[in-house]
Amino acid sequence: MYGERHELFARCLDMEHASGKGKKSVRRESAEVDVVNKRARHSSAGESSSEIFRINRMPAFMHPYIEATIDVESDGNCGYRVLALDNKHTEHDFQLIKDDMLNELKLHRDEYLNIYGGEKRLAYITEALLPSKRKTRRHGVALMEKWFTFPDMGHVAACILDRAVVNLTKDRDCLTFFPLRGSPPEDPSSHIVCVGSIPGHYFHVKLKDGCLIPPTCPQWRNHCSPKAAVRESYFLDRRTKFQELMKAETGDKKANVAGGSTIDDPLVL
Instruction: Give the pLDDT band of residue 195 (cuts 50, 70, 90).
Output: very high
CA distance 134 to 246: 41
Helix (H) or strand (E) run with residue 126 in it: helix 119-129
SS3 of 154-173: HHHHHHHHCCEEEEEECCCC
- Which pLDDT value is given to residue 138? 62
Instruction: Give the pLDDT band of residue 135 (cuts 50, 70, 90).
Output: low
Q: Is the pLDDT of residue 13 over 50?
A: no
Mean pLDDT confidence for 9-21: 44
Q: Is the pLDDT of residue 5 over 90?
A: no
- Which pLDDT value is given to residue 58? 97
pTM for the structure as a whole = 0.79
Q: Is the pLDDT of residue 51 over 50?
A: yes
CA distance 8 to 157: 25
Q: Is the pLDDT of residue 129 over 70?
A: yes
Q: Which residues pair with 133 in a beta bridge?
A: none
Structural domains in the chain, CATH included, are 2-250 (3.90.70.80)
CA distance 61 to 212: 10
**Which amino acid is located at 211 in the chain?**
C
**Which amino acid is located at 22 in the chain?**
G
pLDDT one-digit tens code per residue, 198-207:
999 999 999 9
- Which pLDDT value is given to residue 26? 34
| Spatial CA neighbour of 140 closest among 76, 72, 71 | 76
Instruction: Give the pLDDT band of residue 48 (cuts 50, 70, 90).
Output: low
CA 70 to chain CA centroid, nearest Å: 13
Mean pLDDT confidence for 69-80: 97
pLDDT one-digit tens code per residue, 142-186:
999 999 999 999 999 999 999 999 999 999 999 999 999 999 988
Q: CB–CB of 75/141 below 8 Å?
A: yes
Cα–Cα–Cα angle for 257, 110, 178, rounded to 5 degrees: 40
CA distance 67 to 58: 13
CA distance 167 to 174: 5
- Which pLDDT value is given to residue 190? 78
Contacts of 43 (CB under 8 A, 6+ apart): 51, 52, 67, 68
Mean pLDDT confidence for 114-130: 96
Q: Is the pLDDT of residue 100 over 50?
A: yes
Instruction: Give the pLDDT band of residue 187 (cuts 50, 70, 90).
Output: confident
- Which pLDDT value is given to residue 137? 59
Average pLDDT over the chain, rounded to an integer: 81
Torsion sign, CA atoms 79, 81, 85, 88: positive
- Of 261 and 89, the one with more pLDDT: 89
Instruction: Give the pLDDT band of residue 188 (cuts 50, 70, 90).
Output: confident
- Of 113 and 8, the one with more pLDDT: 113
Cβ count within 10 A of residue 87:
18
